[in-house]
Amino acid sequence: MSGQLSILVIGLGGIGSIYSLVCKRGEPNAKLTFVARSNYQALHDNGISIKSAKYGHHHVTPDAVFKTTEDAAGVEYDYILCTTKSLPNAPLPALLRPVVSPNTTIVMIQNGLGIEQPVAEAFPENALLTCTAYIGVWQTSPGNIEHAKLDKLDIGIFADAHVAESRKQKDTAALDKFVSVLKAGGTDVTVLENMVLARWQKLVWNASFNVVCTVMGMDTFQVLACPSATTLVRTLMEEICAAAKANGYELPAGIIQGNLDNTHTIGPYKPSMLLDYEGGREMEVDVILGNPIAQAQQAGVAVPTLQVMKETLECLNWKTAEKKK
Amino acid sequence: MSGQLSILVIGLGGIGSIYSLVCKRGEPNAKLTFVARSNYQALHDNGISIKSAKYGHHHVTPDAVFKTTEDAAGVEYDYILCTTKSLPNAPLPALLRPVVSPNTTIVMIQNGLGIEQPVAEAFPENALLTCTAYIGVWQTSPGNIEHAKLDKLDIGIFADAHVAESRKQKDTAALDKFVSVLKAGGTDVTVLENMVLARWQKLVWNASFNVVCTVMGMDTFQVLACPSATTLVRTLMEEICAAAKANGYELPAGIIQGNLDNTHTIGPYKPSMLLDYEGGREMEVDVILGNPIAQAQQAGVAVPTLQVMKETLECLNWKTAEKKK
């Protein structure tokens, strides 16, 4: 990387905003470009205001803000941070196409399973990093972000069996550089060997608490107080563990009880999926439930509870879409 | 039956009100006693007002109204119409105990499966009739009832394999007498050989549309318009058919498509379970889902979708109970 670091962030919700701040802290001379949709005007006019229990109050002013990646094209970006939701109508490769150049490193900080493969296939020559974020961060109004204390990022290359060895080397070099920026920025970052395993591991919570809270309209403490809701959460976690195992990703023993205990410790909390539903926004059903279900079925594992919850969330997404008609 | 017919109705919602009217039409000299809970005061002061597309406008004035069956004790009732919801905290045998005398015929006009056995066991000497009602009737405010055109009642004795032959004869005599009252009252009544089969058959709708409408907050037409909701409905119907078959009750071929087609024909409609949930009332989860699930499991049939929906409804009942605390 020569000269000034150029970073494009696509999707300026809580996650995109916090890691914009982190990059700017790690590399103060970095040039920041945003692609923002619903909060475009606010970011264009005022940038981002962040109140963080960890980082304090900050203002992040981007060098440029665009509405689409087409508008953001024509510049060489060193890193593209993908922090959008993964929705069927906005496939990431199409979104990235206008802004990826030969030396761009693509960084995915997104939820769900099976999200990297389409990007790896669309951009076989580019370095690809993938992350799972454990962070409590909310956009309270357009451009206004609140962040709790936790900000833990697991990162790695997308080392699926299908990825060629030459690619892994390129990815690893890009990984080292980006991790140094993140560390300088203050994030609690851990490099993992196996990010697919990490994604299954995060699904244990995301495909259970996230889902049950949303379907029932409950916060995490209500779920823990309601016996049937806790039973559903446990069953969903068990199905995720079984699906992961059948696909060669054995999750640590005690992960289910650990997730339940942690959820107790954190305090009552409305997960992002419930906030999306209540806010009339489409929820990420395919990458949180659809892809693990497909992988379970390919491995011959029955996951009926995940299946019913997927269909239930699809119904709720349908209701949201109908209301907007 | 000698002298004036004495009828006790327990539970004066839509169903209890309509069949009070029907009994009074069939036997104008009948003495009507009500046990009413939430609408006690309205019924005590003003009786019931019924606007029916089939029967016209009517006023039903009971001879007596009580808050509990203990209060209604001390009189010999020829018939007791049980038209309460079947909820775990209000078991019917305990409710009936104070008002059943040796010659009382117990008539159950209630939803769900497996509701007769506890009553048959508690009152082995009494005639027991059981009914499924296909009727659109609502209590719009305490004591005010609206009824659409349909009023179809399937009735029979509870001829389970466990019931003794002597009992069946007593039941059949009571059945003939009561059916003549219902027919004189104008109800479209059909005597069925096998009421357990009839209950499984009614569950095809009640354990699917009823449930999916409630969980999703959709009317029947929204469910039919939403592909994932229709898929869930079909799966629930298939599981009910499989559970019924494994228990020796083979439902007619085409019953699933028939139910879907009928639901199209009837027009958009909010099922009673959804109205109960929206009204902050406890829903009948055990008799609509719990009992068929138990019978499926005893027969070794997997019904995972019914199971998940049961737990989901239990969560919603829990939320309702929490709000009342």
Task: List the single residue in A232, A302, A319 with the smallest CB-CB distance to B216.
Answer: A319
ipTM: 0.91
Token look-up 């945003």 returns: A34
pLDDT of residue B2: 46
Instruction: Work out the average pLDDT over A81-106.
Output: 95
Average pLDDT taken over every residue of chain B: 94
Measured N-to-C along each axis, helices B304-324 and A227-246 cross at an angle, to the nearest 10 degrees, of: 150
Token pair in block for residue A108: 């995915």
With 60 as the cut, is the pLDDT of residue B208 above it?
A: yes
Query: Is the separation of the CB atoms in B113 and B199 below 8 Å?
Result: yes
* In chain B, % of residues over pLDDT 70: 97
Looking at chain B, which residue has its C-alpha nearest residue A318? Answer: B226
pLDDT of residue B39: 96
Residue A232 with chain B: CB contacts under 8 Å: 308, 311-312, 315
Tens-digit pLDDT profile for residues A123-141: 988 999 999 999 989 999 9
Token pair in block for residue B138: 């609502």
Which CATH number is associated with domain B196-323? 1.10.1040.10
Q: Show the DSSP H helices in B226-303 as ranges.
A: 227-246, 255-266, 272-278, 291-298
Nearest one of B182, B141, B172 to B42, comparing CA atoms = B141
pLDDT band at B4 (very low <50, low <70, confident <90, very high): confident
Tens-digit pLDDT profile for residues B15-41: 999 999 999 999 999 999 999 999 999
- Rounded Cα–Cα distance for residues B144 and B18 (Å): 11
Instruction: Work out the average pLDDT over B133-149.
Output: 93
Task: List the single residue in B226, B305, B318 with the smallest CB-CB distance to A308.
Answer: B305
The SS3 of residue B236 is: helix
pLDDT band at B235 (very low <50, low <70, confident <90, very high): very high
- Rounded Cα–Cα distance for residues B303 and B135 (Å): 28
Q: How does A10-27 read in b/e, with b if 16+ C-beta sit within 10 Å?
A: bbbbbbbbbbbbbbbbbb
With 60 as the cut, is the pLDDT of residue B211 above it?
A: yes
Q: Show the DSSP H helices in chain B as ranges.
A: 14-26, 40-46, 92-96, 116-122, 165-185, 195-206, 209-216, 220-225, 227-246, 255-266, 272-278, 291-298, 304-324
Chosen for mutation from A214, A221, A228 (greatest number of chain B CBs closer than 10 Å) is A228
Looking at chain B, which residue has its C-alpha nearest residue A321? Answer: B226
- Rounded Cα–Cα distance for residues A127 and A107 (Å): 8
Is B311 in contact with A228 (Cβ distance < 8 A)?
A: yes
Tens-digit pLDDT profile for residues B151-203: 999 999 987 655 667 778 888 999 999 999 999 999 999 999 999 999 999 99
Is A318 in contact with B229 (Cβ distance < 8 A)?
A: yes
Instruction: Work out the average pLDDT over A175-194.
Output: 96
pLDDT of residue B291: 98
Is A228 in contact with B314 (Cβ distance < 8 A)?
A: yes
Task: List the single residue in B228, B311, B316 with the smallest CB-CB distance to A318.
Answer: B228
Looking at chain A, which residue has its C-alpha nearest residue B218? Answer: A319
**Residue A60 per-residue DSSP state:** E
Instruction: Work out the average pLDDT over A5-13.
Output: 97
Q: Which class for B248: exposed (0-12), middle (13-18), buried (19 or more C-beta within 10 A)?
A: exposed
Is A319 in contact with B231 (Cβ distance < 8 A)?
A: no
Looking at chain B, which residue has its C-alpha nearest residue A236? Answer: B308
- Annotated domain spans of chain A: 6-193, 196-323
Is A312 in contact with B218 (Cβ distance < 8 A)?
A: no
Token pair in block for residue A169: 């080397």
Going by their DSSP bridges, the two strands B144-157 and B127-141 should be labelled as antiparallel
Token pair in block for residue B320: 């309702």
- Rounded Cα–Cα distance for residues A266 and A231 (Å): 20
Chosen for mutation from B214, B215, B226 (greatest number of chain A CBs closer than 10 Å) is B226
Class for the domain spanning A6-193:
alpha beta
Tens-digit pLDDT profile for residues A28-74: 999 999 999 999 999 999 999 999 999 999 999 999 999 999 999 99
Query: Is the separation of the CB atoms in A95 and A108 below 8 Å?
Result: no
Token pair in block for residue B92: 């019917």
Which residues, in sequence order, are CB contacts of B148 under 8 Å at separation 6+? B52, B53, B54, B135, B136, B137
- Rounded Cα–Cα distance for residues A124 and A119 (Å): 8
Query: Is the separation of the CB atoms in A31 and A62 below 8 Å?
Result: no
pLDDT band at B67 (very low <50, low <70, confident <90, very high): very high
- Residue with the bigger pLDDT between B12 and A168: it is B12
Query: Is the separation of the CB atoms in A188 and A135 below 8 Å?
Result: no
Tens-digit pLDDT profile for residues B91-111: 999 999 999 999 999 999 999
- Rounded Cα–Cα distance for residues B127 and B169 (Å): 9
Q: What is the CA radius of gyration of chain A?
A: 19
pLDDT of residue B3: 65
pLDDT of residue A1: 45
- Rounded Cα–Cα distance for residues A126 and A104 (Å): 6
With 70 as the cut, is the pLDDT of residue B224 above it?
A: yes
pLDDT of residue B1: 45
pLDDT of residue B163: 62
Tens-digit pLDDT profile for residues A264-296: 998 898 999 999 999 999 999 999 999 999 999
Residue B215 with chain A: CB contacts under 8 Å: 215, 312
CB contacts < 8 A (A, B):
74
Write phi, then psi, for A136 (nearest 5 degrees).
-105, 105
Which residues, in sequence order, are CB contacts of B25 under 8 Å at separation 6+? B55, B184, B185, B186
Q: Show the DSSP H helices in A186-254 as ranges.
A: 195-206, 209-216, 220-225, 227-246
With 90 as the cut, is the pLDDT of residue A258 above it?
A: yes
With 90 as the cut, is the pLDDT of residue A161 above it?
A: no
